[in-house]
A and B are shown apart, each in its own frame.
Chain A
Amino acid sequence: MTEHKINKTYQQINARIRSGEAVVVTAEEIIDIVKNEGPVEAARRVDVVTTGTFAPMCSSGAFINFGHTVPTTKASKVWLNNVSAYAGVAAVDCYIGVTEPCEDDPLNKVYPGEFNYGGGHVIHDLVAGKKIHLKAEAYGTDCYPNRNIEKEVTLRKLPNAVLCNPRNAYQNYNCAVNLINKTVYTYMGTLKPNAANANYCSAGQLSPLFNDPYYKTIGLGTRIFLGGAQGYVTWHGTQHKPGAKRTKRGIPLTPAGTLWVMGDLKKMSPRWLVGASLQGYGCSMSVGLGIPIPILNEEIVNYTAVSDEELFTQIVDYGHDYPNGISKSYGKVSYAELKSGYIKFRGEEVQTVPLSSIVRAREVAEILKGWILKGDFLIGEPQFTLPS
C-alpha cells in the first residue's frame, strides 16, 4: 500500500528514456507546470527534472596515476606545474587538491594576494589538453630505486585521472556581509565595509539539493552531470548536516546537505572545470554539476517545484563574527530578494552580489535534459540514499 497517487519506478522511467518517450524539464520549467497542472498531473506527465549549478567548490580535486618509469619510482613528493600534490597514496599516484597554490606564490604577503595559479588551474589545464610539467622526488628503495622524475604529461597519456570531490553542491549557503569598517577579502568574495554589499552563492531554484531536500532520490550511484561528463554521487559529502532547521517544505535555512562526487576526468571539459582565483583568499575551482531528479511520485515533483521565493538563507557577518567562530544570523533573506539586486538590511538598500553563475547553472540543466532526451543518459538508482 502506498500513500501516493502516482508511483513510478526507476526501471519504468529508464524504459521511457530508452524508448525516447521520457518527458524531461528543468527545475525552472517545472515550477509553472506544477502551479498550473497540480502535482499529481505533473508527476503523471513528467519523468525527470534536471538541476544545475556552477560555482567555486573548494573541496575538489583529482586522483592521478602518472605511470611507471625505468628505473621504477616510489614518489614521496609530487608537483604538477609547480603545484604540490599529495603523494602519500602509492608509488606513482597522487591527489591534486584545487586549493593548493603553486610553490613560490606570494600568498597574502602582498595583501590581498592574487592566487593566480593553483590545483584548480592544473585540473583546468589538464582537461584543456595542455602539457603539464610533472616533478617527483623519491627516497629510493630496493624495488623503486629512482629518486627523481621530471616529465611532461597530458591528460590523454596519463594511465588514470579521476575527479574526486569530497564536498560539492552545498544545499544552501550563507549570505555574506561585512560589518567592520575595512574591506575584507573572503571565500565569499570582496566584502566592502559596513555592509556595502551582500554576497551569496547558490543557484537557488536550479540548485540540485534544493530540489530534493530530503535526498529521497540521491545517494550512492546517482548518475550526474559532473564537469561536462557523466559522474556519480558516491557518498554524502564532508560536513553533510541534514539536521539543519528547515521550512515546512523541507528547505534548510542554513548550509545543510553536501555531496561526495566522482567521475572520469578524461571525459570532462575545461568549460565545466574552471580554475578560480579568489582574491585575498586562495585558489579554487568552479565546478559544473547537475542532478536529474526522477519523478517517482507527486511528493517528489512537489519538491522540484520550489521557487526562489520559497528558498531562504541567513545573513552572516564575515568581518568580525565568522573569523571569530561566532554563529549569528542578522536576518533571513529569500533567493528571490537576493537575485533582485538589492536586499533591505538594517533599513538600508544593500547591493547583492552573486558568486554562483545562474547562466551556467541553467546551461547544465539544459545539457542534462538534452542527454536524457537523446537516451544517452539513464537515471542511476542509488544503492542507498544520503542520510537525511
Chain B
Amino acid sequence: MYSKILILRFPKTEAEKPIVCYLAKDYDLTFNILNAAVLPRKEGIMVLELSGTKKDFKEGVKYLRSQGVQVQNASQEVKRIKKKCTHCGSCTAVCPTGALAVQRPEMLVDFNQKKCSVCELCLTACPSRAMEARPTNKAFF
C-alpha cells in the first residue's frame, strides 16, 4: 500500500471537469479529499490523500498530469537547522514522541527524525527557531 497527500491544481479550463473520480474507476486507487476549492480566477485546488499500489499510484499521477493538472507532494518533514540549535532543551517539553530528547550525561539535544510525527509543536517552542517544517524533497513516484 502506497499513500501520499497531494496538492492538485486545476487550470481554469479543467476545473469543471470530473477528473479525480477516474483515479478510482480506471486506476484502482482510493482517495480521501481533505480540501477542495474553486478560486476567484476559476482555477481549482484540491488536497487529497491518494492510496493504492505503487504502480497504480504512478499511473494515476501520470493521468492527472496528462489532464493538465499540476501535482505537488504535500507531505512535510521537520528538520533541525544545526547551526541555530543551542542545545538548550526547551523543545523537549512539547515533543510528544521523544524525537527530540536530551542525551545524557552530555546534555546534548538529539533529534531522531525517524520518531518525528511532524506535529510541528517544536517550531514555535524553540527559542532560537532552529526547527523548520519543509516539503519532503524525496520524489514520490
Contact = CB atoms under 8 A, between A and B. Distances in A.
Interface in B66-106: 86-90, 92-94, 102, 104-106
Given A54-B86, A353-B90, A360-B87, A279 B124 contact: yes
Contacts of B88: 54-55, 286, 354-357, 360
Contacts of A56: 127
Interface string B103-136: 0111110000000000000001101110000000
Interface string A150-191: 000000000000000000000000000000000000000111
B106 A276 contact: no
B141 to A, nearest CB: 36
A222 interface: no
B93 A353 contact: yes
A197 B106 CA distance: 21
A67 interface: no
Interface string A348-361: 00010111111110
B93 A357 contact: no
Contact of B127 (A192, A197, A277, A340): A277
Contacts, number: 75
B104 A276 contact: no
Interface string A272-293: 0011111100001010000000
A191 B129 CA distance: 19
Contacts of A360: 86-88
Interface in A251-288: 274-279, 284, 286
A114 interface: yes
Size band of the interface chain A makes with B = 20 to 34
B86 A190 contact: no
Contacts of A54: 86, 88
A340 B125 contact: no
Contacts of A189: 90, 93, 125
Nearest to A190: B93
A385 interface: no
A341 B86 contact: no
Contacts of A197: 93
Interface in A337-388: 339-341, 351, 353-360
- Please indicate which of the listed interface residues A277, A341, A357 has the most CB atoms of chain B within 10 Å of its own CB: A357
- Chain B facing A: main interface SS: loop
B128 A274 contact: yes
A358 B107 contact: yes
A357 B127 contact: no
A199 interface: yes
A82 interface: no
Contacts of B102: 341, 354
A355 B86 CA distance: 10
A353 B104 contact: no
A57 to B, nearest CB: 12
Contacts of A284: 127
Given A276-B128, A359-B107, A359-B108, A353 B86 contact: no
A357 B94 contact: no
B92 A353 contact: yes
Contact of A357 (B86, B92, B105, B124): B86
A72 interface: no
A146 interface: no
Contacts of B124: 112, 114, 277, 279
A116 interface: yes
A-B pairs, top 9 by smallest CB distance, nearest first, are A358-B107, A354-B89, A276-B127, A359-B87, A353-B93, A357-B88, A190-B93, A279-B124, A357-B86
8 contacts: A190-B94, A199-B90, A339-B105, A339-B107, A351-B92, A357-B89, A359-B107, A360-B88
